[in-house]
Structure 1
Amino acid sequence: MGSMAAVWSEGDAVGRAVALLLLAMSITAWVLIFWKAWTLRRARTDISRGVAAFWQAPDVDAAQRRLAGLDREEVLAPLLDAAIAQPAGGTLEAAGQRESQLTRRLRDALHAVVQRLQFGQVALASIGATAPFVGLFGTVWGIYHALVGISTSGSVGIDKVAGPVGEALIMTAAGLAVAIPAVLAYNAFGRLVGGCEAELEGFAHDLRELQLGRRAHEA
């Protein structure tokens, strides 16, 4: 903590800007980590409970009412809404075959849900990829700033060099400390989103078969 205080007090505007940027990146990463961990956990639970409740319902209307109380993250309801929706008359969508209409609506709904689940992934990947370089830039600039100060002072010794250079290296460590949690979280959340997407694809496929079977029976 004292070293960081020294880096801040002895640094110039560029060094302080790098430190503030790393701090902002760290705060953003941890906010995203906690938020996505909470939402993805809820989504996995919603999918598991909601799909089971849906297929235990006596009809689609009852299943829709059951999902309203279980689908907190709204990952299943958009698929069901797409399955039972009717296209407006006089449109190109209504002119297509019913099977194609249903497939397109379910595909679009699935993509929208997955995009919501993936929100924040790009930010985590960007922080994980750039934070080490931001920290390295801070280190290089700090070393340059320290060497300029030493040259102007006129006295050169190992103690005069080691202190400022060691403090400048803290910026590299700070960049790694920001990047490592972001990269680990990105990989973990990617697996969770992939699992949710696979389950949602299966649910969308089953909804399609259910609706096509109902229409064939009604015909």
Structure 2
Amino acid sequence: MDFAQYWQVTDAVSKTLFLILITLSLISWVVGISRIIYAKQKVDVVADELSDAISQEMSGLSGLEFAQKKTATEQFLLKHIANHRFELEKGLPILGTTAAIAPFIGLFGTVWGIFHALHAIGKSGQAGLAQVAAPVGEALIMTGLGLGVAIPAVIFFNIITRLNKKALYLANDTAHHILATVR
């Protein structure tokens, strides 16, 4: 069965599910690739960005006592690390949600296809290959498509989460080093 034939035998529900899964797939690929690139860039520059930002801030703290300077530096570092975390985690909910719901959308399409197969059997009174081939094929396509959308989303999510952890580790390590050198 080619795609044109598949598209002709499907109904509005199957077409809608198919389009939803294709849209989720495209979105997860775009988000996944762009966030991996962003996270890799952040891993390379997060320590320098934090050091540069604190060096600019330190000039305004020169008249403070040691305890006040250390507290102000710590608050400034915490704020910047939180900003980095926020920026790094953008897009992860899209990937996580796609990974979680795509198999269920595919499963719903599978159930819908099996329903069509049973309906065809009921109409004809026979359970021959001609009555069930198209609906069962439709069901299998939806199952595969659901998994085909979810698996890359999970992989992207895990890669990005790992890169984010590395970037935040470097940011925290830099912050501890900066706090240790406050005078």
Task: With the length of structure 2 as denominator, give the TM-score of the two structures.
Answer: 0.84
Conserved? CA contact 1:124–1:186, under 8 Å: yes
Equivalent in 68, 75, 84 of residue 58 of structure 2: 84
Give 1:104's aligned residue. 75
Give 1:137's aligned residue. 108
Equivalent in 151, 166, 182 of residue 153 of structure 2: 182
Conserved? CA contact 1:82–1:105, under 8 Å: no
Map residues 51-200 of structure 1 onto 2, 5 A cutoff. Answer: 51=48, 75-76=49-50, 79-80=53-54, 83-84=57-58, 86=60, 97-152=68-123, 154-159=124-129, 160-200=131-171
**Higher RCO (CA 8 Å, separation ≥ 6 residues):** 2
Give 1:69's aligned residue. none
Give 2:45's aligned residue. 46
Give 1:30's aligned residue. 29
Relative distance call for 1:84 and 1:10 in structure 2 (3 A) is farther
Q: 1:194 is matched by which residue type in structure 2?
A: K
Tell me how far 1:14 sits from its aligned partner: 1.2
Relative distance call for 1:15 and 1:82 in structure 2 (3 A) is farther
Aligned length: 177
Conserved? CA contact 1:125–1:182, under 8 Å: yes
Map residues 199-210 of structure 1 onto 2, 5 A cutoff. Answer: 199-210=170-181
Tell me how far 1:83 sits from its aligned partner: 4.4
Q: State the superposition RMSD in angstroms.
A: 2.5
Q: Which 5+ residue runs of structure 1 have no aligned equivalent?
A: 52-74, 88-95, 214-219
Tell me how far 1:86 sits from its aligned partner: 4.8
CA–CA separation in structure 2 for the residues paired with 1:138 and 1:188:
29
Tell me how far 1:78 sits from its aligned partner: 7.6
Tell me how far 1:10 sits from its aligned partner: 1.4
Aligned-residue sequence identity (percent) comes to 33
Relative distance call for 1:81 and 1:115 in structure 2 (3 A) is farther
CA–CA separation in structure 1 for the residues paired with 2:43 and 2:179:
22
Give 1:7's aligned residue. 6
Moved more, 109-118 or 97-106: 97-106
SS across alignment from 1:76: helix
Cα shift readout 1:63-107 (whole Å, capped 9, x = no counterpart): xxxxxxxxxxxx5378527843759xxxxxxxx943323212211
